[in-house]
Amino acid sequence: MVCHFRKKFHKRIKSFLVICCFVSPTYFIYSHRLVKEEPLCLKNTCSCETCISDRGISHWFDRRFNSSIQPQLTSNNENIPREVLLWWLTLQSRHPRVNIIHSKLFEAMPKSDPSQSASPCRCRSCAVVGNSGNLKGSNYGELIDSQDFVIRMNGAVTTGYEADVGKKTTHHFMYPESAKDLESNVHLVLVPFKPQDLLWFMNVLSNRKNILMYRRVKSYIKADRDKISIFHPTFFKYVHDEWTEHHGRYPSTGMLALIFGLHICDQLSVFGYGVDKDGNWHHYWENNRLAGAFHITGVHNATCETRIISHLAEIGKIQLYRGRHGAS
Ligand code: C5P
């Protein structure tokens, strides 16, 4: 009986050893492979070859870039610090109304970060497309459409300009005076340059008659209710403090969209910023080269913003495509 038990026991040990001999090398080979592939997900801040949020490449960038500041308001981060509120409320009004932020507005806000924060296993490519006339004849359409996210702004049009500007849009930045109808799959990002812009948005959302703005604004816009968000005033001030460093009264929509892109993307290609090859500042859909839309607003500092964009390109944080202005 004892002998039989021993025999059985030895047999089991033998088969265990055979399994070990077979499994261990296989495990070693596979685990080695896993270790070899792991850095894609563990070593970097994203899985692209280089990631925007990688540190240690430029002190200038590292000093400014603060990944903890969320670009969009959500119903979880609607608290606006007092100093931000005071700055933002006086942006365009000498008599600000502090109680303007209505709780109803936040009911319509997404509950969590709609752009989802970076992950080591993600490689999100984006295009931010400004409205510069340097896009005319650029043939960037395909390149722009090949990015995961395509961010456009204000009066940007694509119909009729597809070859140069592409036809894909995932995010559209606007404020009341630049509002336009959007396709149902596009994220609307409202940039509240003034508190009344939030009131306008609330009214638009509830289809109520709109408040009086200094220019005639749309009282109804077509947009996907599940894809609306508000640019966070804290992020707005962060761009003004850290990036444009108080040059100009406040940053332009283009500057805000670009820094937004730095925060939600892992790689960012920038199109449609700056003058065209003849030094004009008009929009790519305009024929009037003297329009100078962006440059003559008087509130933004175009020179400073252009310098920042060029520097971001020099240090490799963005790929800058200058269109018909010159070489990319
Ligand atoms: O003129 P608009 O504000 O609609 O343009 C959107 C953004 O595109 C601007 O805020 C600016 O950053 C950029 N732009 C530019 N050069 C132009 C026109 C617009 O850099 N000629």
**Each residue of 181-209: pLDDT tens digit?**
999 999 999 999 887 888 888 888 776 65
Indicate if 22 and 126 belong to the same structural domain: no
Q: What is the pLDDT of residues 244-255, one digit of tens each?
A: 999 999 999 999
CA of 133 to the centre of ligand 1 (A): 9
Ligand 1, residues 252, 287, 300, 321: which to mutate, most atoms within 8 A of Cβ?
252
Distance in Å, CA 70 to ligand 1 centroid? 23
- The Cα–Cα gap between 205 and 200 comes to 9
- Same-domain status, 16 and 72: no
158 and 14 within one domain: no
Q: Which of 187, 283, 300, 325 is catalytic?
A: 300
Q: Which residue's CA is minimally distant from atom 4 of ligand 1?
A: 154
CATH of the domain at 192: 3.90.1480.20
Q: How many domains does the chain have?
A: 2
Residue 54 above 80 pLDDT? yes
Mutational pocket test of ligand 1: of 281, 294, 299, the residue with most ligand atoms within 8 Å of the beta carbon: 294
Let me know if 300 is a catalytic residue. yes
- Shared domain check, 101 and 221: yes
- Secondary structure E strands in the chain: 72-73, 125-129, 149-153, 171-174, 187-190, 228-231, 267-271, 319-321
- How large a percentage of the chain has pLDDT more than 70? 73
Do 13 and 123 sit in the same domain of this protein? no
Tell me the range of 68-77, 203-212, 257-266 where mean pLDDT is highest: 257-266
How far apart CA 324 and CA 328 sit, in angstroms, is: 9
How far is it, in rounded angstroms, from Cα 292 to Cα 43? 46
The number of the ligand 1 atom at minimal distance from the alpha carbon of 258 is 12
Position 180 pLDDT exceeds 70: yes
pLDDT for 159: 97
30 is catalytic: no
CB of residue 248 inside a 6 A radius of ligand 1:
no
Residue ID of nearest Cα to ligand 1 atom 18: 132
**Same domain, residue pair 261 and 134:** yes
Same domain for 275 and 135, yes or no, is yes
Give 283 Cα–ligand 1 centroid separation in angstroms: 7
Closest CA to 51 of 257, 284, 264: 264
Q: Which of 104-113, 223-232, 281-290 has the highest mean pLDDT?
A: 223-232
Which of 39-53, 89-103, 273-287, 299-313 is the least confident region? 89-103
47 within a domain of the structure (yes/no): no
One domain, residues 234 and 138:
yes
Q: Containing domain of residue 251, as a range? A: 59-325
Taking the alpha carbons of 83, 85, 91, 93 in that order, is the dihedral positive or negative? negative
Instruction: Give yes or no for residue 140 having a pLDDT over 70.
Output: yes
Residue nearest to atom 15 of ligand 1 (CA): 273
Q: Is the pLDDT of residue 5 over 60?
A: no
CB of 280 sitting under 6 A from ligand 1: no
Shared-domain flag, residues 17 and 65 = no
- Say yes or no: 16 and 107 in one domain: no
244 in the same domain as 144: yes
> For the residues 80-89, what does the mean pLDDT come to?
84
Whether 52 is in a domain gets the answer no
pLDDT of residue 36 exceeding 60: no
Residue nearest to atom 17 of ligand 1 (CA): 132
- What does pTM read for this prediction? 0.84
The angle at the Cα of 168, spanning 106 to 47, to the nearest 5 degrees, equals 80
- Name the nearest CA neighbour of 192 among 73, 41, 33, 315: 73
Q: What is the mean pLDDT of residues 212-234?
A: 82
Is 42 among the domain residues?
no
For residue 255, the CA-to-ligand 1 centroid distance in Å is 9
Give the C-alpha distances (Å, rounded to integers) separating 219 from 46, 67, 74, 185: 41, 35, 24, 21
In a domain, 53, yes or no: no
Q: How far is the CA of 252 from the centre of ligand 1 (A)?
A: 8
pLDDT at 157 over 60: yes
